[in-house]
C-alpha cells in the first residue's frame, strides 16, 4: 500500500503563526483502534466501533484481520463492524499481510496468530522492515511458535502458529507495551495461565480492553512489579466501543498552542490513561497552562476536554522512569523545550533508537538544522532553550512524528521551518495540516 497518491516526496513549510484559536478534535486513539479491531476479530458476535482512527496503520490492521477470516465492514455512518471468529478461529491468509508502517499492528498480530495453527507471511514498508522483531519472536517462540525471519530478525517474516501451545511466564527485558501485548494475546488461545512480569509499567490498553471483552485477566503487584496473568481458551464477547481522541496526536496542537504567543485552544475528547500522559505532566512542570474540563469515562478509559493557553515555559529534567508513558512524545517535547527558558534534559531514551527511525538522532539533527543547541548520549538528550531561529529543512526519515513535530516548531520559530517529506503523516494523523491551518497555522507546500 503506498503512502499517498504520489510516490514523490511532499515537502512542506511551516511559517510563524499569529496565535492559534478554536475547539478541535484529533483522530481516535491509535493504540485502542488497533486493539479494538484485533480483539473484535477473535471475539464471538459483532463488535461495533465508533471513533476508529481511519489512518493507514489502522486500516492495514483492519485488512489483516479480514484476511485472517474476520468479517470487517465500515458503514456509511463511519461505524466499523467486526464479526469475530472466536478465540483460536483465525485461518491462514491467502496473501501476505501488509502492515505498512505500523510496529504495533505487526507485533500484536504476531501474538494473536502465534498459538493458532496457521501460517502467514508478514510484510511492511521500508521503515518497518528495518525495525527489530526479535523482541517479539523470542518470547512467542517459547509457546512453540516457529518463525522464518529476514536477516537481523526483521520483516519480511513468516509465522507458523503453534498447534499445541504451552503457557509461558515471561519477564519483559525492555519496557514495551507491544511485547507485553503480543505475549498476552498469544496466551488467549493457550491452555493454562500465561503471565507477563513487567518491571517498568507501560501503557495498559491491552489489559483494560481485554477485560472489557470478558477475558480472564488479572493484574497483581508483587514487590512493586506488575504481574499480568491471562487464562487461555476462554471466549471473548463482542463489544460496543467508542474510541476517544489520541493523546499522542493531541500533543502536536497542544505544544503548538503553548509556544505560539496569543494562543488558546480546546482539544475535545482526549483519552487520559495515566500510562500515556507523561507529556502532559512534563509540560505542566515546565509551566504550561493546561486545564482539564468535562472529565468522564469512555471504553474503560478516563476522558476529558483539554484547554491550552500560550505559556512561558522553563527547562526541566525529565526522569528516566517517565519514558514509557511518553515515548512517542519526545520529538514534540524537544520542540517545546527549544522555546523554554534554560535547558531541558530527557533521560531513558534508548527505545527511541529503534522507532520508525533512530528518532533520537533525527530529532537532534532537526533541532540543530534550525539553530537549536543540543547535547546527547546513547539514551539522553539535552535541549538548550531560548527559541528556535528556524530556517532549516528537517530530514524526516519516513517518520510521521518527526514530520509533525517540526511543522509545529515552524509556527513559533523566527524563520519558517521545512520538512523534506510529509506523506507519512497520514499513517497516524490524517488531516493534520488542515486541522492546524484551521486554527491559524501557516503550513504550505514547499
Domain assignment present for residue 5? The answer is no
Please tell me the predicted confidence (pLDDT) of residue 133.
96
Domain assignment present for residue 2? The answer is no
Q: Report d(CA 40, CA 231) in Å as an integer.
A: 18
Residue 1 neighbours by CB distance under 10 Å: 12
Of residues 328, 399, 420, 421, which has the active-site annotation?
Answer: 328
317 and 429 together in one domain: yes
Q: Where are the alpha helices (DSSP H) in 213-291?
A: 247-259, 278-285
Q: What is the mean pLDDT of each run of 10 residues along the chain (446 residues)?
A: 62 98 96 97 98 95 98 98 98 98 96 98 95 96 98 97 97 94 98 96 92 96 95 97 95 98 98 95 98 89 96 97 92 98 96 82 97 96 97 95 98 97 93 98 95
Give the residue numbers spanning the domain of 422. 12-28+244-445
18 and 104 together in one domain: no
Last residue of a domain, one of 199, 224, 241: 241
Q: Any catalytic annotation for residue 420? A: no
341 and 431 together in one domain: yes
101 and 219 together in one domain: yes
289 and 351 together in one domain: yes
pLDDT tens-digit readout, 385-444: 999 999 999 999 999 999 999 999 999 999 999 999 999 999 889 999 999 999 999 999
Closest CA to 36 of 234, 201, 205: 205
Please tell me the predicted confidence (pLDDT) of residue 6.
57
Domain assignment present for residue 309? The answer is yes
Please tell me the predicted confidence (pLDDT) of residue 299.
67
160 and 262 together in one domain: no
CATH code for position 233: 3.65.10.10
166 and 55 together in one domain: yes
438 and 342 together in one domain: yes
Domain assignment present for residue 313? The answer is yes
User: Domains in the chain: how many in total?
Assistant: 2
**Per-residue CA distances from 255 to 234, 339, 366, 375 (Å):** 44, 10, 17, 22
Q: Who contacts 379 (Cβ-Cβ below 8 Å, separation ≥6)?
A: 320, 347, 348, 349, 350
24 and 66 together in one domain: no
Half-sphere exposure of 193 (CA within 13 A, CB side): 10
Cis peptide, bond prior to residue 146, ω within 30 of zero: no
Domain assignment present for residue 1? The answer is no
For the chain, the 3-state helix, strand and coil shares in percent, each to the nearest 5, are 30, 30, 40
Cell numbers given for 370: 534550525
Last residue of a domain, one of 209, 241, 273: 241
Please tell me the predicted confidence (pLDDT) of residue 400.
94
Domain assignment present for residue 4? The answer is no
Q: Report d(CA 446, CA 442) in Å as an integer.
A: 12
Last residue of a domain, one of 194, 209, 241: 241
Q: Report d(CA 368, CA 247) in Å as an integer.
A: 27
Q: Where are the alpha helices (DSSP H) in 313-387?
A: 330-338, 359-369
152 and 264 together in one domain: no
Amino acid at each position: 500500500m503506498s503512502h499517498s497518491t504520489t510516490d514523490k516526496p511532499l515537502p512542506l513549510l511551516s511559517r510563524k503563526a499569529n496565535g492559534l484559536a478554536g475547539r478541535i478534535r484529533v483522530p481516535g486513539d491509535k493504540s485502542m483502534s488497533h486493539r479494538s479491531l484485533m480483539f473484535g476479530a477473535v471475539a464471538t458476535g459483532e463488535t461495533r466501533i465508533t471513533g476508529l482512527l481511519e489512518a493507514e496503520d489502522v486500516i492495514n490492521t483492519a485488512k489483516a484481520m479480514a484476511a485472517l477470516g474476520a468479517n470487517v465492514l465500515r458503514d456509511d455512518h463511519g461505524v466499523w463492524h467486526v464479526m469475530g471468529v472466536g478465540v483460536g478461529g483465525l485461518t491462514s491468509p491467502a496473501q501476505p499481510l501488509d502492515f505498512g508502517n505500523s510496529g504495533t499492528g505487526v507485533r500484536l498480530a504476531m501474538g494473536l496468530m502465534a498459538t493458532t495453527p496457521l501460517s502467514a507471511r508478514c510484510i511492511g514498508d521500508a521503515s518497518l522492515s528495518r525495525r527489530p522483531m526479535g523482541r517479539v519472536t523470542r518470547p512467542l517462540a517459547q509457546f512453540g511458535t516457529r518463525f522464518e525471519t529476514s536477516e537481523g530478525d526483521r520483516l519480511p517474516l513468516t509465522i507458523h502458529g503453534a498447534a499445541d501451545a504451552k503457557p509461558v511466564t515471561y519477564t519483559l527485558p525492555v519496557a514495551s507495551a507491544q511485547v507485553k501485548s503480543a505475549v498476552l494475546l498469544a496466551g488467549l488461545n493457550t491452555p493454562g495461565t500465561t503471565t507477563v512480569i513487567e518491571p517498568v509499567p507501560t501503557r495498559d490498553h491491552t489489559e483494560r480492553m481485554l477485560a472489557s471483552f470478558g477475558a480472564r485477566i488479572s493484574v497483581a503487584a508483587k514487590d512493586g512489579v506488575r504481574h499480568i496473568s491471562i487464562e487461555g481458551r476462554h471466549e471473548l464477547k463482542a463489544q460496543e466501543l467508542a474510541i476517544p481522541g489520541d493523546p499522542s496526536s493531541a500533543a502536536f496542537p497542544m505544544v503548538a498552542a503553548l509556544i505560539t504567543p496569543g494562543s488558546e485552544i480546546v482539544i475535545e475528547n482526549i483519552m487520559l490513561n495515566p500510562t500515556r500522559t507523561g507529556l502532559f505532566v512534563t509540560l505542566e512542570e515546565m509551566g504550561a497552562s493546561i486545564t482539564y474540563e468535562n472529565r468522564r469515562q469512555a471504553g474503560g478509559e478516563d476522558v476529558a476536554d483539554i484547554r491550552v493557553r500560550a505559556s512561558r515555559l522553563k527547562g526541566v529534567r525529565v526522569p528516566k522512569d517517565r519514558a514509557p508513558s511518553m515515548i512517542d512524545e519526545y520529538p514534540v517535547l524537544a520542540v517545546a523545550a527549544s522555546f523554554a527558558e534554560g535547558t531541558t534534559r530527557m533521560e531513558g531514551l534508548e527505545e527511541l533508537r529503534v522507532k520508525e527511525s533512530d528518532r533520537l538522532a533525527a530529532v537532534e539533527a532537526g533541532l540543530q538544522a534550525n539553530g537549536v543547541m543540543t547535547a546527547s548520549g546513547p539514551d539522553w538528550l539535552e535541549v538548550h532553550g531560548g527559541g528556535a531561529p528556524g530556517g532549516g529543512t528537517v530530514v524526516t526519515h519516513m517518520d510521521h512524528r518527526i514530520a509533525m513535530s517540526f511543522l509545529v516548531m515552524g509556527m513559533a520559530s523566527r524563520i519558517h521551518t521545512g520538512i523534506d517529506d510529509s506523506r507519512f503523516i497520514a499513517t497516524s494523523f490524517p488531516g493534520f495540516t488542515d486541522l492546524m491551518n484551521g486554527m491559524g497555522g501557516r503550513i504550505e507546500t514547499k
